[in-house]
Homo-oligomer: A and B are copies of this chain.
Amino acid sequence: MTTSSFDDKDIELIRKKIRNIPDFPKKGIIFKDITPVLQDPMTLVLTSKLLMQPFLEQNVDLVAGIESRGFIFGTRMAADLAAGFIPVRKPNKLPSDKISVEYELEYGMDQLEMHSDAIKKGDRVVIHDDLMATGGSARAASELITSLGGVVIGYSFVLELTFLNGKSKLETGIPVHSLLEI
Chain A interfacial positions (CB closer than 8 Å to B): 19, 21, 24-25, 31, 33, 35, 38-41, 44-45, 48, 62, 67-69, 71-76, 78-79, 82-87, 92, 94-96, 115, 118
- What 10 pairs across the A-B complex have the smallest Cβ distances? A68-B68, A21-B95, A71-B71, A24-B95, A39-B84, A38-B85, A31-B95, A76-B76, A72-B75, A33-B95
**A19 surroundings in chain B (CB, below 8 A):** 96
Cα–Cα, bound, A75→B75 (Å)? 8
Task: Provide the main secondary structure of the chain A interface.
Answer: mixed
Task: Find A118's partner among B21, B39, B41, B92 (CB 8 Å cutoff).
Answer: B39
Cross-chain contact of A67 among B68, B78, B82 (Cβ < 8 A): B68
| Closest beta carbon of chain B to A129's beta carbon, Å | 12
Q: Which of B39, B79, B96 contacts A48 (CB 8 A)?
A: B79
User: Is the CB–CB distance between B118 and A84 below 8 Å?
Assistant: no
The 16 listed contacts between A and B (C-beta, < 8 Å) are A25-B95, A35-B94, A35-B115, A35-B118, A38-B75, A38-B87, A39-B62, A39-B85, A40-B84, A41-B83, A44-B78, A44-B85, A48-B79, A72-B74, A72-B85, A76-B79
A35 to B41, CA, bound (A): 27
Of B31, B41, B87, B96, which contacts A72 at CB under 8 A?
B87
